[in-house]
Structure 1
Amino acid sequence: MKANYELDEIDSEIYKFLDLKEPQSFLLFAGAGSGKTKTLVNVLGEVKKNDLDKLIGLGQKVAVITYTNAACEEIKQRLNYDASFSVSTIHSFAWSLINPHTEDIKEYLAQMLNNKVEELKEKLAKAKNPNNKTALQNKARLEKTQDRLKSLKQVRNFIYSPTELLGGRSALNHAEVIEIASYFLFNKPLLQQVLIRKFPILLIDESQDTFKNLLEAFIHVREVHKHVFCFGIIGDQMQRIYGGGKNNIAESLGVDWKIVDKKTNYRSPKRIIELINSIRRDDDGWQQEPFKDEVGIVRLFIVNSERPDKDSIENYVRDKMAEETDDLQWKRPVQKSGDIEVQETVKCLILEHAMAAIRGQFSDFLLPLLSIDKYRDGAVDGSRKEFSFLINVVVPFINSIKQEDDFGIMKSVKLYGNLVSEQNSDFVSSPFDSLRDTKARATELKGLIAGDGATIFNVLKLIKDLKLIEIPSELSIHLIDGELPDEGSDSEDDKITIAWGKAFSASIENLVNYALYTNGRLGYATHQGVKGLEFDRVMAVLDDKESKGFMFSYEKLFGTVAKSKTDLENEQQKKDSAVSRTRRLFYVVCSRAQKSLAVVAYTSDPSALKSNALETWFKEEEVIVL
């Protein structure tokens, strides 16, 4: 990497913290558009220029952990893919730490699985109806857990991939890798030594969304080894968008930590920074300063939520913004005959996933699952195993079936099933007959998919029965027939059973649309999908009526609907509430804009929203009631 950068004052301060003769752990508080990635790369460039030879001589590296693969790739690219730096996602890094410790992993899993066996036995003993679907699922879970427990002794090495779907008795899932790494770092001094000797400098980007237990484990290692280990935490609590992160990181750090602020916003013009500062003032009060001289344009369009013509309203907003900003790229591009794809010039951000699901026609599948806390993050970004399998295995297979793509069909069957495999004796003895049989099974599945009313349940059940693809146990237990539990049940297992039952009763097109959404191909995105990104023109759409009240409320944020008793109690106890979560989302979305921003707010009370908007965040000339 050529030294074509200049360190600013903050860059220089952070570089000094990385001096291993006197390491200084720190929290870099970096708001939206503050250039934290640039600072990170600049500091690492200085390490390369001055300190890398010494680190290499000691067999050491600087480790950088990011939240997403995209962020990881960006940093690697800016470092010219220099192997002297270990840049990885949190899952990859955690796996690299625990991977060699097979016997320790076995011991941990044996204890965890034994506990799970006892828990499931207790649930089955208390089951009022043994034919209840939840009870039958728990019986299947118990058998699966006992089988895994018995097979542990046969595992020579565990396997894991942060990007691929791996199966078998030796495979670990994402959650297990994080849990095991966190536990080992807290409880095994040997692993602490491995970490600090191999990576005496560890920097975590997007720390606000790093798994709470793992972040606390790293902080613990730093407290024990502070004289030889430098731990840098980089992030912004206001941009926390996942549920598993740690709240109030700064408050949990000791007095010997340094806290540094990057207050300059290099992304947005003055008016947009003024707006996001106002949004944030009621939260932690932290404020930014503009770098650009441009003023920028903000408009708030207020619309009665009862109006049905939302597409035409949002097209009008585009036209109006083109007029207000003198920027024709606000207008919707026209699809010309023969065009493969027209580049979108306005980023439309739907601020809530339930709202996106309704607009994207996959609400029957997603909404029931959003009601289950442990599924929420993994469902909205497709990272949890059940959802990843549906997105990356089932939907491509269905598309190949629809398109009569024999190559795609056989590829899926070979990768994810046993029909075309050396494990299938019929295929080994008579491969051509097996291939014809596989094609006949695929044709039977196509008949179901092509018919009216094909549900996700029916399609998955037939795939399982025809043995085309091996369905993981996390999903196959929801294909068990049985009596559904009562809707009003307080049992978490019953709630999960009911949620999957509703989700699987959705049409197969729901699942196809859901996959398009998680892959960013439905024409709009949510706050998770634009994490760390920026766009010239942003249109943010707020609509509580479409969001179905899941976790967020823009009407409450704007003061047109009263806060609930729970909201008030949460605020008094300094807990997360619907209003605080919504404020963070609104902040993240508005702070993506580089030139101009349109906020389209659907409301049950347009006059009240206008009045409250003028008292808080917007100016008279910026508010337009449609």
Structure 2
Amino acid sequence: MINETVISPAEQASARCLQQVFEAMAANKNFLVEAGAGAGKTYTLIKALRKQIDENAKKFLRMQRRIACITYTNIAKDEIRSRTDNHPAVFAETIHAFAWDAIRDFQKILRSQIHTLSDRWPERIAEAGGVTNQEVIYNLGYPKITDQEIFLHHDDVIKLLIYLLDDLKFQQILTSRYPVIFIDEYQDTNTDLANALLRNFIVPEKGPLIGFFGDHWQKIYGSRSIGLIQADADKLVVIGKEANFRSDRIIVDVLNNMRPELPQQYKDPGSVGEIIVYHSNEWTGQRRTGGHWAGDLPADVAHEYLNAVINDLKAKGWVFEKNTTKVLMLTNAVLAEEQGYSNLIAALGPDDLLEKQDDYISFLIDTIEPGIAAFIEGKYGKMIDAFGLQSPAISAHSKKIEWHEKIGRLEGLCREGTIGDVIDLLKETRKPPLPRRIEEKEIKLADLLAKPPEDRDEAETNFVEKYTSLRAVLYAEVSRAADFINDLTPFSTKHGVKGAQFDNVLVVLGRGWNHYNWKQMLEWAHAGIPAGKQDSFERNRNLFYVTCSRPKHRLALLFTQDLSNVAIEQLTAWFGNVLIPFNLPE
């Protein structure tokens, strides 16, 4: 009896995509792999890297050349290194580390451009007595200039790379060092950087072989990202990966209805799955009004709706456990109360907090939280990395004792003190030091507090109110918000979405974000996008698509925002007859 292996439609589509990638590389043609949600983009990227290793590694290493693979997160970088066995011919790094490695030897040119990097740099240069022959350095990402050194901000490194990419000599050196450059999650590439690559390498058909891997429908972070990279077909070969290895058939059908130009093949054509769409149009009470809350349920009613829908889904067989089911909150109506950081969100507003746009919050969540977590675990090397320090600075035994005592005090205040208590301690101990922007705000706040309230203008009054309120919030709310943003809880916002997958997903869609309006997005998808609104539409559509693509088996949507007849029609066109007008139980 012959045992025939059945190749699924998704596997066949994946093989076709990979063959096209290999053909493009063999012809030395720049290419772009457009891989929709669940398509297995990283698999294709790793296969392409291994093909390059097999064919070119010995030659490249002999000539001191490497295959560059640029990522946008440390997690992705580590995964690529692991899956290529840390091969010495592969230089897998984040975009900032790659940029610095590429430009660090051009010290004279770097110094000549420092004054152009931001409005703040000329002031720093003047305070330091000018740019002379200082060494330009990039490590912690905090901008500073002394008589010996110039420290770059993270954004500065990208700007300098963009500037140098227009230099012919730099192009030649970069091509010599990295004859092959792959860019993971290409849609998150800085727009100016992507255009520099197009302008200098892809359009003139010179320089390194460049391969882009990603999906412009999954661009959900940052307005400075390029999204779709486009060039003439003879300059950039676009390869669609028409596969979905994640979701059951009914979910893939919905994704294909949303995106017919990149139809995905099923991993298991016999799979079933489940989709339910709940909406709250039957509710007859007074909805919220004004600004970005218009049309949503009151917060307490939205909370009741969420609980009622969860109970209804449980009755249908859903199990709400952390490792099985995820609730994705695309609303602020119930978030803060649900998660225990309502005072923090009241002080800052949702965008400053959950998008970490405020200097205090980005520092506390990205630096203090992981540093304290490492301290509690006794992982001091990890703590040093989190705090952005050089390890020799605390190598002496006496220094270790001093650090242990002061970080112990910090850890205690993080548990029991306010944000202001934590900031004041860091001003005293400088372990770790505050970023310059926070130091400047602290000085400004002290100066304004010393000023009679009646002498402050409106902007000064708002500044004082914002940061006195923030400093008064218990630091524990920062930890809870950090857990939420970093996706450690059963709930998740848009910031914990991309790349994750779960058995079952409940998506709660409402108002409260400045940039998101689900009813409007559905209406535009149905009737056409108004002039000048393409970016706004894509921002909403992309996040909606990404969240709907997360589950393997079951997807439920709950709209707490009211929906028009046109919006209902569009949902029906995408999802079929699965809409339930849901009201609260008596």
User: TM-score normalised by the shorter chain: which range applies?
Assistant: 0.7 to 0.9
Q: Size of the alignment, in residue pairs?
A: 541
Give the AA of the match of 1:23. Answer: N
Measured after TM superposition, the shift of residue 173 of structure 1 is: 2.3
Give the AA of the match of 1:332. Answer: F
Counterpart selection for 1:616 from 553, 569, 573: 573
Partner Cα distance (1:612, 1:446) in 2: 54
Measured after TM superposition, the shift of residue 318 of structure 1 is: 4.1
Alpha-carbon displacement from aligned partner over 1:195-241 (angstroms, at most 9, x marks no partner): 11111111112111111122222223314762452111222211111
Counterpart for residue 4 of structure 2? none
Alpha-carbon displacement from aligned partner over 1:167-197 (angstroms, at most 9, x marks no partner): 98543221111111111112x2222112111
Structure 1: runs of 5 or more not aligned: 119-141, 334-342
Measured after TM superposition, the shift of residue 475 of structure 1 is: 0.8
Q: Check 1:518–1:465 CA distance in 2 against 1; reply closer, same or farther (3 A cut).
A: same
Partner Cα distance (2:410, 2:62) in 1: 62
Give the AA of the match of 2:266. Answer: P
Give the AA of the match of 1:461. Answer: D
Counterpart selection for 1:100 from 100, 105, 110: 105
Counterpart for residue 273 of structure 2? 296
Q: Check 1:81–1:322 CA distance in 2 against 1; reply closer, same or farther (3 A cut).
A: farther
Counterpart for residue 38 of structure 1? 43
Partner Cα distance (1:513, 1:257) in 2: 45
Partner Cα distance (1:624, 1:13) in 2: 46
Counterpart selection for 1:576 from 531, 535, 539: 535
Contact 1:534 1:594 survives alignment (8 Å): yes
Partner Cα distance (1:181, 1:588) in 2: 31
Partner Cα distance (2:566, 2:465) in 1: 37
Measured after TM superposition, the shift of residue 597 of structure 1 is: 0.7
Give the AA of the match of 2:264. Answer: Q
Q: Check 1:532–1:229 CA distance in 2 against 1; reply closer, same or farther (3 A cut).
A: same
Deviates more, 1:294-303 or 1:360-369: 360-369
Partner Cα distance (1:554, 1:486) in 2: 40
Counterpart for residue 365 of structure 2? 391
Counterpart for residue 553 of structure 1? 517
Counterpart selection for 1:456 from 419, 436, 452: 419
Counterpart for residue 541 of structure 1? 508
Correspondence 1:261 to 2:235: no
Give the AA of the match of 1:555. Answer: K
Counterpart for residue 5 of structure 2? none
Alpha-carbon displacement from aligned partner over 1:32-52 (angstroms, at most 9, x marks no partner): 111221112222222333333
Superposed, which structure 2 residues align to 1:47-66 within 5 Å?
A: 47-66=52-71
Give the AA of the match of 2:239. Answer: V
Measured after TM superposition, the shift of residue 332 of structure 1 is: 2.9
Superposed, which structure 2 residues align to 1:478-497 within 5 Å?
A: 478-480=441-443, 481-483=446-448
CA RMSD of aligned residues (A): 4.5
Contact 1:68 1:89 survives alignment (8 Å): yes
When normalised by structure 2's length, the TM-score is 0.77
Measured after TM superposition, the shift of residue 514 of structure 1 is: 2.5
Give the AA of the match of 2:484. Answer: Y
Counterpart for residue 249 of structure 2? 270
Correspondence 1:160 to 2:139: yes
Measured after TM superposition, the shift of residue 279 of structure 1 is: 3.4
Contact 1:65 1:87 survives alignment (8 Å): yes
Measured after TM superposition, the shift of residue 97 of structure 1 is: 0.7
Partner Cα distance (1:533, 1:407) in 2: 27
Counterpart for residue 172 of structure 1? 152
Superposed, which structure 2 residues align to 1:422-501 within 5 Å?
A: 450=416, 455-465=418-428, 469-480=432-443, 481-483=446-448
Measured after TM superposition, the shift of residue 460 of structure 1 is: 1.3
Partner Cα distance (1:538, 1:397) in 2: 32
Partner Cα distance (1:52, 1:233) in 2: 20
Deviates more, 1:494-503 or 1:315-324: 494-503
Correspondence 1:18 to 2:25: yes
Measured after TM superposition, the shift of residue 369 of structure 1 is: 5.5
Superposed, which structure 2 residues align to 1:96-245 within 5 Å?
A: 96-112=101-117, 116=120, 142=123, 146-147=126-127, 149-150=128-129, 153=132, 155-156=134-135, 158-160=137-139, 170-186=150-166, 188-223=167-202, 226-245=205-224
Correspondence 1:308 to 2:304: no
Contact 1:173 1:385 survives alignment (8 Å): no
Give the AA of the match of 1:580. Answer: E
Measured after TM superposition, the shift of residue 274 of structure 1 is: 2.0
Counterpart selection for 2:91 from 86, 98, 101: 86
Contact 1:353 1:526 survives alignment (8 Å): no
Partner Cα distance (1:208, 1:70) in 2: 17
Contact 1:185 1:218 survives alignment (8 Å): yes
What secondary structure is seen at the aligned counterpart in 1 of 2:199? helix
Partner Cα distance (1:435, 1:38) in 2: 47
Give the AA of the match of 1:531. Answer: K
What secondary structure is seen at the aligned counterpart in 2 of 1:86? strand
Contact 2:114 2:121 survives alignment (8 Å): no
Measured after TM superposition, the shift of residue 269 of structure 1 is: 1.7
Contact 1:207 1:236 survives alignment (8 Å): yes
Measured after TM superposition, the shift of residue 558 of structure 1 is: 4.4
Measured after TM superposition, the shift of residue 53 of structure 1 is: 3.0
Q: Check 1:299–1:166 CA distance in 2 against 1; reply closer, same or farther (3 A cut).
A: farther
Counterpart for residue 319 of structure 2? 331
Partner Cα distance (1:48, 1:400) in 2: 36
Alpha-carbon displacement from aligned partner over 1:3-24 (angstroms, at most 9, x marks no partner): xx998222122112223xx421
Structure 2: runs of 5 or more not aligned: 1-10, 284-296
Q: Check 1:449–1:534 CA distance in 2 against 1; reply closer, same or farther (3 A cut).
A: closer
Q: Check 1:214–1:522 CA distance in 2 against 1; reply closer, same or farther (3 A cut).
A: same
Contact 2:115 2:125 survives alignment (8 Å): no
Contact 1:266 1:290 survives alignment (8 Å): yes
Deviates more, 1:309-318 or 1:615-624: 309-318
Measured after TM superposition, the shift of residue 533 of structure 1 is: 2.3
Contact 1:417 1:467 survives alignment (8 Å): no
Correspondence 1:508 to 2:475: yes
Deviates more, 1:214-223 or 1:248-257: 248-257
Q: Check 1:501–1:105 CA distance in 2 against 1; reply closer, same or farther (3 A cut).
A: farther
Give the AA of the match of 2:268. Answer: K
Partner Cα distance (2:371, 2:52) in 1: 47
Contact 2:194 2:229 survives alignment (8 Å): no
Counterpart for residue 16 of structure 2? 9
Measured after TM superposition, the shift of residue 352 of structure 1 is: 4.9
